[in-house]
C-alpha cells in the first residue's frame, strides 16, 4: 500500500488489506506517522502522538491476522482522537494552557470502544479551547489550517479532527459537537461528520463544555465508514447516566435500503438572507437529485429558528461557567506558583490558563446564572429551547428527515472573524437548533464553490433516527459520483 493512497483509504480497505495479507496494521500506522511528520507541521492537526500505544495495538491486530482469526470491525484502522476526550497516559489539554501537563489515568468510553473494535489510536487532535469556537483559532497551541485551502479555517471546534481526515493523517477521527462542532468542520473540509442523537454515544471521559449539549461523533471519508464507526460507538454505558438504552440500529445495513418514498423536509428558515448563493445552489441540487431518486420533497417550517443562536449562547455559556469552575489550580493542570493566598491562586491560575474566548463565555454564563438575572436569561432560554424542540417534533410528524445547509458561508480566511465574536457566533445559525433539540444530524459533501472550497449538506433526523438519516446521506453521496 502506497502513502499517496492514504487520503482516500477507507475502513473496509484497511480491514480487507490486513486480512488478505497485503499490508499490516503496523505498516499502516507507521505510514500515517510518516505522513504526519512530513505534512502536519503546516496544518497542525495533532497536538500529541501515542506511538507506543498505537504500535502495541497494531501488533495485536497483526498477530490475529497471522493466526487467521476473525478480525474486529475496525481492525488496524488508524484513528485520531479530539483532545477533549481522555486517553490513559496521553496528554489531555482540551487545547488549553490550564490543563497543560495533565495525563488522565483512564480512557473515555468512546476511546475504549474503538480500541476494543481493533482501532489503532494515533494521538490527540487540536481543537478550539474546551471546544469553544467555530474556526479552531482559539487553541492555546496554535490554529489549525484547512487542508483544502491553507489560508482558510478548518471550522471548529473539531477542526483538527476534520483536517486530519481530509489530509490523510487518519482514516477516521473522533470529534465532539455542542452547537455544530462536528458538522461545520466536516462541511468546511469536505468530509463526513455525524452528530448522534443526545444519549446515543457515551460522554464518559469527555471534558465537559455544556453537559446538556455535548455529543461525541465520528469524522470519516464516506458515509459507510461513518455508519460503521457509529455502530461501534453507540449504546448504553453505565458510566454515563445520560446515555440511552434505546437499541442500536444496523447502521451499515440500513445503507442498502432504497430512499424511494422517503419524505424530505426542507425548512424554509434555513434558506433566507445571509446564505451564500453557491451553498444554496449546491443544497438545492442535492434536493433535486433526491427527488429524482423517488424522495418526496416537502417544505416545512421551524418558526422559532431565529431564536436559536441567542438561546444556545445563553444555555451553553451558563453550563460552561458551571463546568469550568473545577479548573482552579488545586487538583490538576496549571497552578500559579506566585500566589500568596488561595483566592489569589484561583484568580491568577484561571487568568493565565484560560484563553480570551473561554473567559468571555465564562463571564457571559456566570452573568446569566446570577441572582436577579436567572429568570430573565437562563430560565427564558430553556423555555425557548422547548419551543425549538417542538418545532422539530412537529416537522418530523410529516417527514422522515430534514435537508438544509450546514453553514451560511464556505470556509472563511484565518483571522477574518476573530475580532467580531457575534459574527463568529452567527456561523452556527443552521447548526445550534438541532443541538438544542437533541436530534441527530450530519454533514455530507455535496459540491464545491468556484474557488474549490467544499460545500456540505446537512441532514437532520428524528431522535434515534440515525438509520433514515444515513440512508439519505448515502443517497446524496452516491448522487455526487
User: Among this protein's residues, is 202 annotated catalytic?
Assistant: no
Catalytic site residue from 45, 48, 50, 82: 82
Q: Which three cell numbers stand for residue 54?
A: 498505537
271 vs 285: CA distance, rounded Å: 14
Half-sphere exposure in the Cβ direction for 164 (13 Å, CA): 37
**Cell 441527530, residue located:** 440
Q: Which three cell numbers stand for residue 453?
A: 472550497
481 vs 165: CA distance, rounded Å: 20
**Cell 489560508, residue located:** 151
Catalytic site residue from 45, 181, 321, 443: 181
**Cell 473540509, residue located:** 189
- Identify whether the C-beta of residue 393 lies closer than 8 Å to the C-beta of residue 130: no
Catalytic site residue from 157, 202, 243, 431: 157
Cis before residue 372, ω within 30 degrees of 0?
no
User: Among this protein's residues, is 8 annotated catalytic?
Assistant: no
- Identify whether the C-beta of residue 459 lies closer than 8 Å to the C-beta of residue 444: yes
402 vs 474: CA distance, rounded Å: 15
Q: Identify the three-state secondary structure at position 456.
A: strand
Give Cβ neighbours of residue 75 (< 8 Å, ≥ 6 apart): 14, 15, 18, 19, 25, 61, 64, 65, 117, 118
User: Among this protein's residues, is 134 annotated catalytic?
Assistant: no
3-state helix, strand, coil in the chain (%, to 5): 45, 15, 40
> Which sequence positions are flagged as catalytic?
82, 157, 181
Amino acid at each position: 500500500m502506497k502513502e499517496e493512497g492514504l487520503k482516500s483509504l477507507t475502513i473496509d480497505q484497511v480491514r480487507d488489506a490486513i486480512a488478505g495479507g497485503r499490508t499490516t496494521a503496523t505498516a499502516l500506522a507507521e505510514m500515517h506517522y510518516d505522513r504526519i511528520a512530513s505534512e502536519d507541521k503546516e496544518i497542525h492537526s495533532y497536538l500529541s502522538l501515542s506511538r507506543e500505544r498505537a504500535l502495541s495495538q497494531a501488533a495485536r491486530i497483526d498477530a490475529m491476522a497471522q493466526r487467521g482469526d476473525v478480525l474486529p470491525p475496525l481492525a488496524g484502522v488508524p484513528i485520531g482522537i479530539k483532545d477533549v476526550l481522555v486517553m490513559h497516559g496521553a496528554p489531555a489539554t482540551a487545547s488549553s494552557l490550564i490543563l497543560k501537563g495533565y495525563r488522565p489515568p483512564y480512557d473515555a468510553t468512546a476511546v475504549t470502544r474503538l480500541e476494543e473494535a481493533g482501532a489503532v489510536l494515533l494521538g490527540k487532535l487540536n481543537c478550539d479551547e474546551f471546544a469553544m469556537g467555530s474556526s479552531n483559532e482559539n487553541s492555546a497551541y496554535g490554529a489549525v489550517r484547512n487542508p483544502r485551502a491553507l489560508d482558510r479555517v478548518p471550522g471548529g471546534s473539531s477542526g483538527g479532527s476534520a483536517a486530519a481526515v481530509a489530509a490523510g493523517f487518519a482514516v477516521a477521527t473522533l470529534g465532539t459537537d455542542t452547537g455544530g462542532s462536528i458538522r461545520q468542520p466536516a462541511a468546511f473540509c469536505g468530509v463526513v461528520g455525524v452528530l448522534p442523537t443526545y444519549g446515543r454515544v457515551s460522554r464518559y471521559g469527555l471534558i465537559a463544555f455544556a453537559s446538556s449539549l455535548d455529543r461525541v461523533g465520528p469524522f470519516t471519508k464516506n458515509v459507510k465508514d461513518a455508519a460503521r464507526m457509529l455502530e461501534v460507538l453507540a449504546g448504553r454505558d453505565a458510566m454515563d447516566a445520560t446515555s440511552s438504552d434505546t437499541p442500536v440500529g444496523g447502521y451499515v445495513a440500513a445503507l442498502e435500503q432504497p430512499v424511494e418514498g422517503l419524505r424530505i423536509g426542507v425548512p424554509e428558515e434555513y434558506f433566507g438572507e445571509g446564505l451564500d448563493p453557491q451553498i444554496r445552489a449546491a443544497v438545492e441540487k442535492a434536493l433535486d437529485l433526491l427527488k429524482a431518486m423517488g424522495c418526496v420533497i416537502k417544505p416545512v417550517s421551524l418558526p422559532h429558528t431565529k431564536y436559536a443562536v441567542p438561546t444556545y449562547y445563553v444555555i451553553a455559556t451558563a453550563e460552561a461557567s458551571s463546568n469550568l469552575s473545577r479548573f482552579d489550580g488545586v487538583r490538576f493542570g496549571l497552578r500559579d506558583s506566585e500566589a500568596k493566598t488561595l483566592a489569589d491562586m484561583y484568580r491568577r491560575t484561571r487568568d493565565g490558563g484560560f484563553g480570551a474566548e473561554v473567559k468571555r463565555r465564562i463571564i457571559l454564563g456566570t452573568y446569566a446564572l446570577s441572582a436577579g438575572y436567572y429568570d430573565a436569561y437562563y430560565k427564558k432560554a430553556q423555555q425557548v429551547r422547548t419551543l425549538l424542540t417542538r418545532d422539530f417534533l412537529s416537522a418530523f410528524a410529516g417527514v422522515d428527515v430534514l435537508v438544509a445547509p450546514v453553514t451560511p458561508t464556505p470556509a472563511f480566511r484565518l483571522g477574518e472573524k476573530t475580532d467580531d465574536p457575534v459574527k463568529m457566533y452567527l456561523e452556527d445559525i443552521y447548526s445550534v437548533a438541532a443541538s438544542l433539540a437533541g436530534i441527530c444530524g450530519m454533514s455530507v459533501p455535496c459540491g464545491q464553490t468556484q474557488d474549490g472550497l467544499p460545500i456540505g449538506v446537512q441532514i437532520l433526523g428524528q431522535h434515534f433516527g440515525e438509520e433514515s438519516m444515513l440512508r439519505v446521506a448515502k443517497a446524496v453521496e452516491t448522487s455526487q459520483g
